[in-house]
Amino acid sequence: MAHQSHIEDLFLKHDGVMSFERFMEEALYHPRFGYYSSNIATVGRRGDFSTSVTISDVIARAACVWALREKKAILQAGMSRRWNVIEVGAGDGSFARDFIAQTPVMHRALLSYHIVEKSAPLKRKQAETAPKSKIKWHEDIGDALDASEGNALIIANELADAFPARRLRYNANNRQWEELFLRDMGHDGLTEFFKPIGGDVKAVDSTVTEDWDSEIQALEDGQLVETLTSYHEWLQSWAPKLKRGAFLTIDYGDAFPRLYAKRPKGTIRGYFQGVCAKDTEIYDRFGHQDLTTDVNFTDLLNWGSDLGFTNVSMQKQREFLATMLPELEQPGPAQQDPAVEFLMSPYGAGDAFKDLWQRKTSSET
């Protein structure tokens, strides 16, 4: 199969061995045959997976209320009346379309909406879905911040979960963390093996290797975890450019170590044509299925603080939506909408998703 030859060529360039993080990066973002860069058609009902914003406009409506509140606070702090919103990873463009439509006319006239997107297929879909006259596209968030003169409200909806993740395993025999690597065995496929953290393996800047709260989740032999080192590096690359603004992260995940409660195999999984792939199935269909991991929000809180952000709040999605759109909890049509019910449900996306609100009022870090 064609994708098998791609894998073999990639492993040859790495002497037959590749970290899981590098495998995930190549599978999703290789410029020629990566899932996001080349093979994804869209998200939603006709894609391999749906996001919250493709099933309802409620997320965009709530984010618009949040943005207008932050805009007011930033204006009071001395920002110009023109305001910038930067959406990083805009999916099929549904969020941008609904956000702009929800913005009151008097505020919309002064709004510059920026989308940061590297995926050519998704960029084409966004141009079909969202109002092109109101949007500026950028390859890099640093470029978007330059265009915004360092003053912006940044929104990342289901972005962090798509960054390449490192996979670690706890070895109780020597009380040591090990990193997952893959070896190409030709026709026999890929085989997993682990290297101790240290030596030629870069350090782990994450809570996952710290002492666990055993009352929440006992740390046992073979526990698999993920850390988004690549996302941390991405934050470090642009945070100094944000002089004044706020950052809203919407994603599925939890605080550490609750994130791994009853999850000894970690959280990595794939999606192909709406079907979830786990265990060794995540190595199948290279470049033709999504790979994702739940987000460790404790890391995001810590990394944000280190980069000069104030952590305003972290809420379950249903709490954030109720705060921004209190009508959702009142009897009426909204409560009868199945999509809204799912997004608010404590048994569905309402608890699985978290909304992290961070603010920055100075370029000093």
Q: What's the burial of 15, exposed, middle or buried (CB within 10 Å: 0-12/13-18/19+)? A: exposed
> What is the reported pLDDT for 120?
83
Pairing relationship of beta strands 353-360 and 151-157 according to DSSP bridges: unpaired
> 140-191: per-residue pLDDT in tens?
999 999 999 999 999 999 999 999 999 999 999 988 999 999 998 877 788 9
> 70-95: per-residue pLDDT in tens?
988 776 655 567 899 999 999 889 99
Residue 75 near residue 109 (C-beta atoms within 8 A): no
Give strand pairing partners of 83. 111
Would you state the torsion angle of the CA atoms of residues 181, 279, 303, 321, taken in this order, to the nearest 10 degrees? Answer: 160
Q: Which residues of 91-103 are buried (b: 16+ CB within 10 A; e: fewer)?
A: bbbbbbbbbbebb
pTM of the complete model: 0.90
Closest CA to 57 of 281, 339, 361: 339
How many degrees, rounded to 5, is the angle at CA 166 between CA 165 and CA 170?
Answer: 135
Helix ranges, the chain (H): 2-13, 20-29, 52-55, 58-76, 94-102, 105-108, 120-129, 141-147, 229-238, 297-306, 317-324, 338-344, 349-352
* Lookup: tokens for 224: 């698999």
The gap between the terminal CA atoms of the chain, to the nearest Å, is: 49
> What is the reported pLDDT for 204?
86
Mean pLDDT of the chain: 87
Distance between CA atoms of 251 and 51, rounded to whole angstroms?
A: 10
> What is the reported pLDDT for 285?
85
For the chain, which domains are there? 2-38+165-225 (no CATH), 49-163+227-267+294-360 (3.40.50.12710)
Distance between CA atoms of 143 and 238, rounded to whole angstroms?
A: 9
> What is the reported pLDDT for 32?
79
> 258-317: per-residue pLDDT in tens?
999 999 999 999 988 878 989 999 998 888 889 999 999 999 999 999 999 999 999 999
